[in-house]
Structure 1
């Protein structure tokens, strides 16, 4: 019989957790309201409330053991929310970089701009496609751009420590396709000169890139003349004249991509069809919104998996802490529980009371962990590690209400599991045995 009850409890845990994971906040609030009504309006509910009140009143006497639950769960929630905030901040930074009314054209089957090479003929043909917006002079708003990986010294690192940054060669139309890019220090580079402007994020990450500094890129000396800000992934790049970059890195008339401003978001299909139907072109076309969203998927997925894995490992530890604490509390209150059973309290109020006590401690831990994560990590600047072909990306962690709710759900789930088995043990404890033990 005991084995069957344990199996049923495990099945109950699995079912409740499966439903709890998918529960929105409003449904959880509705269930809490129904539960509160049950405690107020029914006899067993009022009994559960009475037993819970007695248990809570003794928390001061068990402050150390109760703090184990609170601190353990706070740590789980804090770490989980911080790692998920990293994934959300990274994804949001890349999503903000794109829009539905701009499109990017790269060589067919290219995973990113760094891997794409468009020959001069393709660069000339792409702006002739239908659906592109025109500027005041009637020219298509299309920006052929060259993207290469460069190395710069890391700010605050060892003297010889360098990391990769994306150097983007652009022309005058780059500003028309990205009107959010603004010079915030110094001035823009002059065409034909070895001058650089540095993104605000790159300025924070790298040393020696203030206006007036000189850096060595591609075996040439460049002068930093300004800093720009865009509020998206472009903040992590450095820009220069496309022709000068092409000469320095021996790229000739080729470009990595062409970014265009569409006449209207609805013009995307005609623009794409015009390029795909041209036998002289072998290109891939995406809106910049789709392109940068795809770029974020892999890294964001890795960060989320890492966060959940670390969270599960920590949650197991917190869960065992809660189980030990509540089993000890039940043992210490065995005579009290037996007395309540003897005077007419049924098993259900006892189960509810023990679980409520645990989940209230879990709730406090979840709120504390979420608050700490928000205070410490919301808006915290971070960056990805650079590889040989992709530069660092600066972004800010975002601790959103949705993430705080996720952390709170984890906390309450730990409290549910940590309180369920001790609660059932308390309800099944024979009255005569409990009275003889103490």
Structure 2
């Protein structure tokens, strides 16, 4: 028989003998499944947050913040500076003039549905130009807030995670009262974690005078960012950093990248524990089949076939575990809504997102567990002496 035929025969024999070691094999499958499921849960969390942040950005929208502020909450832009930015080169225009949106960003309190704990929720002040700059904006319930009134609209993400923001609800923020008149979606990105109201009303209620905190502007082309930077540098009255909205949110989206790293660390530690159990399972498998392996060796089967048969057995068990772990992660975590602190110390609502590349990482982890747990027992199986066949027959 060829090496391939011998190895195939040993693999089939090993797999058929699994019921004799059912509970030991099941323990190995379970351990692999848990490791893969935990890994995918953390990776899905990080991926979902990153997707939520990056989905809000556009490369043809310029985003202005005060130099070194880093986030909207710490920034300020005067009305005079807004007017100067209207004349910057590369900003698109329409019938109403430059397409530019000066915006405010304040914090109101909210209560999480699950824990009833307080959380910071962003209230954004903007105008109709600002709403038009959000390409995926759509009202799903109610109507738009009326200019000059204490009305606001609520992102779908806020509605999913926090109490008291339903259509028609009255929201209190200090001495201020707001009425929810609409629910909106922006395609699942970070803007759904916000409340929107008229910028002029927020300026008045929160004593902001005529100042703003950030500015968005539609570009005639993405490469106009450099021309705007030169314009700002040449005017001492301006002290803004400018970048594309896409670049800003891409950087903000890295905020939960540590979760992916943490998930890999935790999964690696758990994998070491799983390996200990898997090695014990495979060594037991080799001991259980020592007589069979020696008999095969006595009738001409090679060391290699015994090695491959044992290694494949370990890989099969770990792959089954990996598949079960992937299914469990998909069922329990994919699309799960959660909220965490973003770059401006306010809540960002996002969904866990399992993608094909994450499943590949989970499968890789399962294969690593299977290979390591199978290699050393397979080496032992390949070295079982032929004499064991005669001893087992006594």
Report the TM-score range of the alignment, normalised by the length of the smaller protein: over 0.9
- Secondary structure at the aligned position of 2:128 is classed as coil
- Secondary structure at the aligned position of 2:90 is classed as coil
8 Å CA contact retained: 1:165, 1:386: no
8 Å CA contact retained: 1:315, 1:414: yes
The structure richer in helix per residue is 1
> What is residue 178 of structure 2 aligned with on the other side?
222
> What is residue 351 of structure 1 aligned with on the other side?
307
> What is residue 25 of structure 1 aligned with on the other side?
none
Deviation for aligned residue 1:437? 6.5
Deviation for aligned residue 1:87? 0.8
In structure 2, C-alpha distance between the alignment counterparts of 1:205 and 1:246, rounded to whole Å:
27
The question of 1:73 aligning with 2:32 is answered yes
The question of 1:423 aligning with 2:378 is answered yes
Deviation for aligned residue 1:156? 4.6
* Superposition pairs of residues 234-245 of structure 1, within 5 angstroms: 234-245=191-202
Among candidates 271, 275, 284, match of residue 228 of structure 2? 271
Deviation for aligned residue 1:102? 0.6
Moved over 3 A (4+): 433-438
Deviation for aligned residue 1:431? 2.8
> What is residue 248 of structure 1 aligned with on the other side?
205
> What is residue 311 of structure 1 aligned with on the other side?
267
In structure 2, C-alpha distance between the alignment counterparts of 1:73 and 1:60, rounded to whole Å:
19
Deviation for aligned residue 1:385? 4.4
In structure 1, C-alpha distance between the alignment counterparts of 2:63 and 2:134, rounded to whole Å:
12
Deviation for aligned residue 1:85? 1.0
> What is residue 324 of structure 2 aligned with on the other side?
368
8 Å CA contact retained: 2:161, 2:337: no
In structure 2, C-alpha distance between the alignment counterparts of 1:288 and 1:222, rounded to whole Å:
29
Among candidates 99, 112, 123, match of residue 167 of structure 1? 123
- Secondary structure at the aligned position of 2:163 is classed as coil
**TM superposition score normalised by structure 2:** 0.95
- Secondary structure at the aligned position of 2:226 is classed as helix
> What is residue 99 of structure 2 aligned with on the other side?
141
The total of aligned residue pairs comes to 392
In structure 2, C-alpha distance between the alignment counterparts of 1:94 and 1:214, rounded to whole Å:
28
Change (3 A) 1:437 1:276: farther
Q: Which string of whole-angstrom CA distances, capped at 9 and with x for unpartnered residues, describes residues 382-420 of structure 1? A: 221479x52211111111111111101110110000001
Deviation for aligned residue 1:188? 1.3
> What is residue 150 of structure 2 aligned with on the other side?
194
Change (3 A) 1:398 1:289: same
8 Å CA contact retained: 1:164, 1:386: no
> What is residue 86 of structure 2 aligned with on the other side?
127
Deviation for aligned residue 1:379? 1.8
The question of 1:154 aligning with 2:109 is answered no
- Secondary structure at the aligned position of 1:216 is classed as strand
8 Å CA contact retained: 1:211, 1:227: yes
The question of 1:409 aligning with 2:358 is answered no
Q: Which string of whole-angstrom CA distances, capped at 9 and with x for unpartnered residues, describes residues 350-395 of structure 1? A: 11110001101111111121122222222222221479x5221111
8 Å CA contact retained: 2:15, 2:313: yes
In structure 2, C-alpha distance between the alignment counterparts of 1:72 and 1:126, rounded to whole Å:
59
8 Å CA contact retained: 2:113, 2:161: yes
In structure 1, C-alpha distance between the alignment counterparts of 2:299 and 2:369, rounded to whole Å:
32
State the Cα RMSD in Å: 1.8
Among candidates 111, 115, 139, match of residue 183 of structure 1? 139
**TM superposition score normalised by structure 1:** 0.86
8 Å CA contact retained: 1:81, 1:399: yes
- Secondary structure at the aligned position of 2:139 is classed as strand
Where do 5+ consecutive residues of structure 2 fail to align?
none
The structure richer in strand per residue is 2
> What is residue 49 of structure 1 aligned with on the other side?
8
In structure 2, C-alpha distance between the alignment counterparts of 1:266 and 1:293, rounded to whole Å:
18
In structure 2, C-alpha distance between the alignment counterparts of 1:423 and 1:306, rounded to whole Å:
32
8 Å CA contact retained: 1:147, 1:256: yes
In structure 1, C-alpha distance between the alignment counterparts of 2:111 and 2:360, rounded to whole Å:
40
Where do 5+ consecutive residues of structure 1 fail to align?
1-41
- Secondary structure at the aligned position of 2:146 is classed as coil
8 Å CA contact retained: 2:291, 2:388: no
Deviation for aligned residue 1:72? 1.1
